[in-house]
Amino acid sequence: MVRKFKDKIKQKKAVVAVIGLGYVGLPLAVEFAKKGFRAIGVDLDKKKTGSINTGNSYIPDISSAEMRPLVKKGMLHATHDYSKLKEADAIIICVPTPLRKTKDPDMSFIISAADAIAKNLRRGQVIVLESTTYPGTTDEVMLPKLEATGLKNGKDFCLGFSPERIDPGNSRFMTHNIPKVVGGITNICRDNIALLYSQIVEKVIPVSSVRVAEMVKLLENTFRSVNIGLVNELALMCDDMKIDVWEVIEAAKSKPFGFMPFYPGPGLGGHCIPIDPLYLAWKARSQGFEARFIDLASQINADMPMHVAERTARALNMRFCKALRCSKVLIVGLSYKKNVTDTRESPAYEVIEKLKERGASVSYYDPFVPESEFRGHKMKSIKLTPSELKKYDCAVIVTDHSDVDYDIIVKNSKFILDTRNALSNIKTDRSKIERL
């Protein structure tokens, strides 16, 4: 099995299937196709598969011009038919791993993918889980389902874990040049998976087990969550003390050692940082260990949208003797981070909710998100014109997109709360700007 798989990889005859064609899966499938491997994308969303098969990308990091030749040559094909997994020599799982309302891991997507693979499993296949999850998922959830077929790991097939590290909107670090951590149930599995990824990434980092590999991603995102929580708490403290937290951070980062700058904001967004640490905290509790840093950071970060609403209310009251109730507020930026279309877990939604709870009328502007729906309410981005901006009592910058005309916002807004320090280079009329 090992020899045949290696030969197929070296001869570019291996077929690679990717389950889940979102921000992680589609770039991965495209990268394998670009390197000469036939790639099959599997997703139950027929809009996604149809878009791919017509050569139209829905992911900003992948251009349609890059994808169309691959589709035309037959190197990239998408389907919602899981039986196509039988054709694959390698299967990579890139499905979502959300949280339940109880903050427990929702493993349903991984379990569904594992069941589909088991139904179509054959000898010689290499299976890799990339979806972020708690340590133990690969060997406790995936492995029993696959071995229930009668095939044995390390003998008939190989199973392992490699954490995804995609950073949507990052033009410097993409799939091919982000180091890839890989772990296998056995050393043979690890070596096969390392060989697979070495075809498309510049550096592969093998680790001793799947649990180490699973923990790596959780450490990376917990590190960010805890440090963002720390600086958010510092921002709340500085606000109370009438100290500019942005000036504090700018001065502190002049230290050439022992300090790494993190920045406050309106809350955490995206599919990783707000969620992954809670996977780790849940697993820790199941082992009788309380992850106090993680829980505290998550609480602080989750409270930031309320702080933004309170700051907005305070500013309207102090500046214009106006209550938030019946005020018109414009949210600038709806996506969870700058220069992306992704709104998953975006703090902008929570800011909107908190403002509406206090009676404000809220609209938004985002060039990357022309329309959206949140909790049953459909919204459309306004047009960024002087006449439109003058309708609002204040603007709140929640996402600092690069190509927004901030000059027009400053010139035509009555007041601006900048939660991202996006207006740091604006030199004129700073009297109407407050920073978080």
Structure tokens at 46: 């027929």
Instruction: Report the distance separating Cα 303 and Cα 229, nearest Å.
Output: 10
394 is catalytic: no
Instruction: Report the distance separating Cα 9 and Cα 99, nearest Å.
Output: 36
Q: How far is Cα of residue 97 from the mean position of the Cα atoms in its chain?
A: 11
HSE-CB of 346 using CA atoms within 13 angstroms: 26
Instruction: Report the distance separating Cα 91 and Cα 17, nearest Å.
Output: 5
| Angle value at C-alpha 245, between 239 and 250, nearest 5 degrees | 175
Report how far apart, in Å, the C-alpha atoms of 233 and of each of 161, 253, 265, 302, 336 are.
35, 18, 10, 11, 20
Q: Which helix (H) or strand (E) holds 348?
A: helix 347-357
Tell me which residue has tokens 């102090």.
318
**Phi and psi, residue 192, nearest 5°:** -65, -40
Nearest to 175 by CA among 295, 66, 331: 66
| Phi and psi based region of residue 35 (left: phi greater than 0; alpha: psi -120 to 50; beta: remaining) | alpha
Q: Which of 189, 238, 272, 394 is catalytic?
A: 272
Report how far apart, in Å, the C-alpha atoms of 87 and of each of 36, 39, 41, 149 are.
16, 10, 12, 18
Report how far apart, in Å, the C-alpha atoms of 8 and of each of 73, 159, 182, 183 are.
20, 18, 20, 21
Ordered DSSP codes for 129-177: E-S---TTHIIIIIHHHHHTTT--BTTTBEEEE------TT-SSS-GGG
Residues 6+ apart with CB under 8 A from 386: 408, 411, 412
Burial class (CB in 10 A: 0-12, 13-18, 19+), 8: middle
Structure tokens at 392: 């609002």
| Phi and psi based region of residue 168 (left: phi greater than 0; alpha: psi -120 to 50; beta: remaining) | beta
At 331 the three-state DSSP class reads strand
Which residues are catalytically annotated?
Answer: 272
